[in-house]
Amino acid sequence: MAYILDERQKQVSVAGANAPTIECNKVSLAGSVSQRACVFCGSRVVLYPIVDALHLIHGPIGCAAYTWDIRGSLSSGPELHRLSFSTDLQERDVIFGGENKLYDSLIELIDAHNPKAAFIYTTCIVGVIGDDVERICRQVEKEKNIPVIPVQAPGFQGSKKDGYKVACEAIFKLVGTADKPTPKKSINILGDFNLAGELWILLEYYKKMGVHVNATITGDGRIDDIRNAQNAGLNVVQCSGSMIHLAKMMKEKYGTPFMRVSYFGIEDMSDALYDVARFFKDDDMMAKARQLVKEEISRLMPELAWYKERLTGKKAAIYVGGAFKAISLVKALRLIGVQSVIVGSQTGTPEDYELIKKLCDEGTIIVDDSNPVELSHFVKEKHADIFIGGVKERPIAHKIGLGFCDHNHERKEPLAGYEGMMNFAKEIYATAMSPVWKFTKNP
Amino acid sequence: MLLRHTTAKEIDRKALTINPAKTCQPIGAMYAALGFHGCLPHSHGSQGCCAYHRSALSRHFREPIMAGTSSFSEGSSVFGGQANLVQAIDTMFTVYNPEVIAVHTTCLSETIGDDMLAIISKADEDGCIPKGKSVIYCNTPSYVGTHVTGYSNMVTSFVKNFATATPKKRNVINLVAGWMEPSDMAEIKRLAKVMEARTLMFPDMTGVLDAPLDGHYKMYPKGGTTLEEMKLSGDSKFTIGLGPMTTEAACIQMDNKCKVKFEVIDIPIGFKATDRFLMSLSRHANVPIPEELSDERGQLIDLISDSARHLYGKRVALWGDPDTLVPLTEFLVSMDMKPVYIVSGTASKYFDEKMPVILKDIPEAKFMCGERADMFRMHQWIKQEGVDLLIGNTYGKYIARDEDTPFVRFGFPIADRPGHNYFPKTGYKGAANLLTQMVDAMLDKFDRVCDEEKVEFQM
C-alpha cells in the first residue's frame, strides 16, 4: 500500500484475525489532503439547527459565507437560523480590535429579531487579536435580557470533533435555566439534526409509544426546551461523536441518565425504541413499541426483499464523519445484500473501530482520517460499486464510475427510521444500478 | 416564508453584514490555482478553511477539488506555521507529486505574521522541494478584499514566478482570464481560434473543472495552463486582461517584469463587451474579424429583436462580482431592460465608476458595492418595489421563492443546478444562451400564473 503515507500506516487496518488496533484521534498530517474540518465547523453544525436563536459569526466574511444554510436542518417554525450574520472583520478591525463591531452587530440583530438567545462564534483570528468576546456577551446579556453565549471556536484549536465539545458546552450553559413541569417518562433527543425532516419521523414513533419528548437537541431545536432539558428522565443520544459530551455533563450535574442509539437501519432503530421502553420499565410502552416495530417491519420487509434480490453481491465503500454512523450503515447495507468493503470515518474512537472490525467481513479495509488518494486506491483494490460519503467524496466517486449516496448534510430524503431505511434502499439501488455507469468507458 | 425577517424598511446598519454577496480571499486563490496544470493549491491555515473552500468549489463545479492544508494547531498559532508548512511541502511532493504547489495564506497565518518567503526558502534548504518543482505563494488575508482579490493575487503570483522575457518575442497574445466558468473560457478560446489569433490563456480551468467522466480519477486533469506556457507568456507581444478586478494586477506585473504591454477590458458578456473583445484581439493580434463571427453577432441581434417585446422595461435585480456585473448590466441596458438593483460585496472603483455611466438613463437604479452591500439589503429594496427578474448566484433562490420572481442563475456559487461549467455566458453565443434563459424564466412564470383565458400558443 505505497499510496498510504508512512505516517498514516497505523491509521489503516484490515478486518480479520489478529488485526492490529487502529490508531486514531491523531491530528491530520500537514499537507495531507484531509477531508476533515475545524473546531468552528464542528460547533457551527451542531448549534445551527437551533432555530429560534441568533447565530452571529465574529470574524472575516468567509466563515459566515461557507456556513450559510449549509445543512438541510428543517424547522417547523422560525427560520432565523438559515440567515447568515457576520461582523465581516476588516483590516482596521484586526488592528484596532473588533469588539465595538461585535457589540453594534449584536444590538442591531437583537433589536430587529427578538431572538430567544444568541450564540456568538469566535473564529481563528478573534483569539489572536484578543477581542474580549466574553465581556461583550455579558454586557449585551444584561442590556437585552436574553442569554448571549460565546462559542469559543477558533479553528486551529483542533478538529471538527473538538468543535462538537465546544457546542455542547455552549448548550450546557442554557440547560437548567428554566424549570417547567415535565412528565416523568420523558426524553431528550440528542444528536439528531432533523436533516430532511428525520427528527419528525422519530417524534412520531415516540409519540406512538407514549413517550414524551422534552427537548430536541439540536434538530428543530428551541431555546426554551433546551433550558428545561434537565427535567427529562432520559437522554437518548444519537451521533454520539457530537453529543455524548453534553449527555455526560448532564449526567454529572443533573443526574440525567443517557443511552446511545442509532436510528439507521431496522435493527438499530428498533433497539432504540425498545431500549427506551426498557429504561422506563413500562410494559405498556414496550407493548406499543413491539406493535409499532411489528407493523413497520411487516410492511417494510417484503418491499426490501425486492431490493435485496437485485443488490446482492454489490460492494460498498463507506467514508463518513462519525464512526457510529458507519456501524449502522454496515448493518443497514447488509440487510439489502450489500457488503461493506471499506469503512472509514473522520473522527472515530478506538472503541468504534474495534466494533467495526468485529462487525465487518474479513478483508474489509478500516481507515481513520483518510484522503482522496487513499480512498480512490481502496475502492479500486476492493472493487466497490457504491460510495457512501459527503460533499467532497461525491465527485471523486463519480469520476471513477461509482454510484454515490450522500449520508451527510446533503441528503434530501430522510434516511432515519423505517421509512428512512426504505429511502436508503431506493437511493442505493438507484445509484448502483444507474445505466450511466455502463457508459463510462469510451467505445 | 424563508426570508420572513426581511423588512421593506431599510434598517440602518453600521456593523452587521447579513447574507453576504461575497466570500473571503483564500477561495479565490484556490480557484485561480486550479487553472494551472499540475498545480496543487495549498491553504496555510487551519484545516477548516481548506475543507470549506474545497466543499464550496465541489458543490459549484461538481468536480473533485484537491488542495492541501497546513492543519494549524494551537502550537502553530503561538509559534508560527513554519514547521507545518515545511512538513506539508515535503508530504505533498512525496505523495501527490504536483508540478507546483501554490500556497495561499489565511487570516490566521497573516495575523500571526508568518513570513512566507522565509518559510519556503527554509523548505528548499531542507531539500523538501525536488529539482524542477516549484512552490509559490500569495498573501490572501481574509479581512482584506474578497474572493475576487484572492483570485487576482494568485494569478499575479503565477506571473511573478514564471513569466520570463527572453530576447525572442513570440507572435502571441496573452489572455488573462478573470473569474468566470470553464465554459466561458472555452468560448473565448474558440472565438480566438476562429479569428486565427495565436493566444495563450491563463489561468485556464477548461479540462480541469469540466473534466470528462471516463472511469478514472486524475488528481491533475489534463487541462490548465502549463508552467512551460506560463514561462513563455513573458515573450508574448501583448496582454489582454479580461475583467479589471481579477486581472489588472497580473497585467501590470507582466508589464513590469517582461515589458509586455497590456489592455484591460471587460469580460465579454453581452454583444457590446464581446465587440470590444474581438476588436481588441483583432487590433493586437493583427487579424481580421471573420464573417463567421459577424454571423454569430447577427444571430444574437436577431434573437434580441425577436424577444424585444418581452425585454422592454423589465426590472432586474443583480448580485455578484464587479467584473461580471458591469458588462452584464451594460448588456441588459442595451436590450432596453432596467437593471434597478445591483449589489456586490466587493468594494470596487471599477464598479463605482462604470455603473453611473451605464445606468444614467435609469434614475431609479440603486447600486452599491463593498461592506454591507449584501443580499439582505437587496431584498429590502425588492420589498420596496418588486422586480421582474433576478440574476445571480444560488443565494438568490430564497428571494426568488418568497417574492415569486423569475430567477436566472449566474455567478458563484451555483450549488443547486448543473451545467454552468458547460454552457457559456461569454461571447455572442453565451449572450444568446443568457438571453434565452432570461426570456424562458419570465415567460414560464407568465404561462404559469396568468389568467386562464390569457394563455396563448404563440408568444
Nearest residue of chain A to residue B51 (CA atoms): A37
On whether the CB atoms of residues B306 and B406 are closer than 8 A, the answer is no
Q: CATH code at A401?
A: 3.40.50.1980
**H or E, element range at B433:** helix B427-449
Task: Give chain B positions within 8 Å (CB) of A65.
Answer: 20, 22-24
Task: Give chain A positions within 8 Å (CB) of B73.
Answer: 27, 156-158
Interchain contact A90–B (C-beta under 8 A)? yes
Nearest residue of chain B to residue A62 (CA atoms): B24
B219 to A94: CB separation less than 8 angstroms, yes or no: no
B5 to A160: CB separation less than 8 angstroms, yes or no: no
- Distance from the Cα of A358 to chain B's closest Cα (Å) equals 31
What is the rounded distance in angstroms from the CA atom of residue A338 to the CA atom of residue A83?
40
**Domains, chain B, ordered by start:** 25-161 (3.40.50.1980), 170-291 (3.40.50.1980), 292-453 (3.40.50.1980)
Interchain contact B9–A (C-beta under 8 A)? no
Interchain contact B380–A (C-beta under 8 A)? no
Task: Give chain A positions within 8 Å (CB) of B14.
Answer: 104, 108
Residue A277 and residue A378 in one domain: no
In tens digits, what is the pLDDT along chain B, a chain of 459 residues? Answer: 888 888 888 888 888 999 999 999 999 999 999 999 999 999 999 999 999 999 999 999 999 999 999 999 888 888 899 999 999 999 999 989 999 999 999 999 999 999 999 999 999 999 999 999 999 999 999 999 999 999 999 999 999 999 999 999 999 999 999 999 999 999 999 999 999 999 999 999 999 999 999 888 899 999 999 999 999 999 999 999 999 999 999 999 999 999 999 999 999 999 999 999 999 999 999 999 999 999 999 999 999 999 999 999 999 999 999 999 999 999 999 999 999 999 999 999 999 999 999 999 999 999 999 999 999 999 999 999 999 999 999 999 999 999 999 999 999 999 999 999 999 999 999 999 999 999 999 999 999 999 999 999 999
Q: What is the dihedral of CA A165, A167, A172, A175, to 10 degrees?
A: -150
Interchain contact B123–A (C-beta under 8 A)? no
Residue A204 and residue A121 in one domain: no
Residue A274 and residue A316 in one domain: no
Interacting residues of A412 by C-beta distance below 8 A, sequence separation 6+: A72, A196, A406
The A residues from 6 to 35 touching B (CB cutoff 8 Å) are: 27-35
Task: Give chain B positions within 8 Å (CB) of A87.
Answer: 15-17
pLDDT reported for residue A2: 62
What's the pLDDT tens digit per position in A290-318?
999 999 999 999 999 999 999 999 999 99
The residue among A91, A156, A434 with the most chain B CBs within 10 A of its CB, best to mutate, is A156
The B residues from 161 to 200 touching A (CB cutoff 8 Å) are: none
Q: Is residue A171 part of a domain?
A: no
Task: Give chain B positions within 8 Å (CB) of A102.
Answer: 15
Block mean pLDDT (10 aa), chain A, length 443: 74 75 76 84 94 96 92 90 93 94 95 94 92 97 97 91 95 97 96 94 96 96 97 90 93 97 93 97 97 96 96 95 86 95 88 89 89 87 92 88 86 91 96 92 68
Interchain contact B88–A (C-beta under 8 A)? yes
Strand ranges, E, within A15-52: none
**Number of separate domains in chain A:** 3
- Distance from the Cα of A158 to chain B's closest Cα (Å) equals 6
On whether the CB atoms of residues A425 and A354 are closer than 8 A, the answer is no
Residue A219 and residue A125 in one domain: no
Interchain contact B52–A (C-beta under 8 A)? yes
Q: Is residue A165 part of a domain?
A: no
Question: Between A323-335 and A240-254, two packed helices, what is the crossing angle to 10 degrees?
Answer: 120
On whether the CB atoms of residues B89 and A31 are closer than 8 A, the answer is yes
Residue A325 and residue A219 in one domain: no
The B residues from 209 to 228 touching A (CB cutoff 8 Å) are: 211, 213-219
Task: Give chain B positions within 8 Å (CB) of A94.
Answer: 107, 111, 141, 143
Q: Is residue A136 part of a domain?
A: yes
On whether the CB atoms of residues A249 and A208 are closer than 8 A, the answer is no
What is the rounded distance in angstroms from the CA atom of residue A146 to the CA atom of residue B366?
37
Dihedral class, residue B38 (left if φ above 0, else alpha if ψ from -120 to 50, else beta):
left
The answer, yes or no, to whether the previous bond of A414 is cis (omega within 30 of 0) is no
Domain coverage including residue A147: 39-158
CA angle at A293 for the pair A288 and A294, rounded to the nearest 5°: 95
pLDDT reported for residue A443: 63
pLDDT reported for residue B412: 97
- Distance from the Cα of B141 to chain A's closest Cα (Å) equals 9
Nearest by CB: B108 against A65, A128, A159: A128
Residue A285 and residue A355 in one domain: no
Q: Is residue A431 part of a domain?
A: no
Residue A318 and residue A269 in one domain: no
Nearest by CB: A108 against B15, B108, B112: B15
Q: How far is CA B444 from CA B17, B270, B337, B450, in A?
A: 34, 23, 18, 10
**H or E, element range at A249:** helix A240-254
Residue with cell 436533516: A195
B59 to A80: CB separation less than 8 angstroms, yes or no: no
What is the rounded distance in angstroms from the CA atom of residue B210 to the CA atom of residue B421?
6
On whether the CB atoms of residues B83 and B58 are closer than 8 A, the answer is no
DSSP secondary-structure letter at B218? -
A125 to B45: CB separation less than 8 angstroms, yes or no: no
Interchain contact B107–A (C-beta under 8 A)? yes
Residue A339 and residue A275 in one domain: no
Q: Is residue A416 part of a domain?
A: no
Cβ-Cβ pairs closer than 8 A, A with B, add up to: 257
Interchain contact B76–A (C-beta under 8 A)? yes
- Distance from the Cα of B369 to chain A's closest Cα (Å) equals 14
Amino acid at A437: W
Residue A52 and residue A137 in one domain: yes
The B residues from 28 to 47 touching A (CB cutoff 8 Å) are: 42, 45-47
Task: Give chain A positions within 8 Å (CB) of B216.
Answer: 399-400
